[in-house]
Structure 1
Amino acid sequence: MNGYDFTLAGQQLCALGSGALWWPERRMLCVADLHLGKAERHARRGGAALPPYETADTLERLDADIAATGAGCVLCLGDSFDDDAAAQALPEAARLWIARLQAGRSWIWIAGNHDPGPVDLGGTHLAELPAPPLVFRHIAIPGAAGEISGHYHPKARIRTRAGTLARRAFLIDRDRVVLPAYGTYTGGLDCHDRALADLMRPDALAVLTGPRPLPVPMPRRAA
Structure 2
Amino acid sequence: MPGHFEPTPGGGAAVSLDEVEISIIRSLAVQLLELVGPGPGGDAPADPLAELFADGPTEPPADPVLHRLFPDAYGSPADPVGTPEEAAERTARSSEFRRFTENDLRARKREDALAVVRALDGLALDGEGVAVLRLAPDDCRCWLGALNDLRLAIGTRLDITDEDDTDLLYRLPDEDPRKPMVMAYLWLGGLQETLVTTLLP
TM-score (norm 2): 0.30
Higher relative contact order (CA 8 A, sep 6+): 2
Q: Which structure has greater strand proportion?
A: 1
TM-score (norm 1): 0.28
Q: Which structure has greater helix proportion?
A: 2
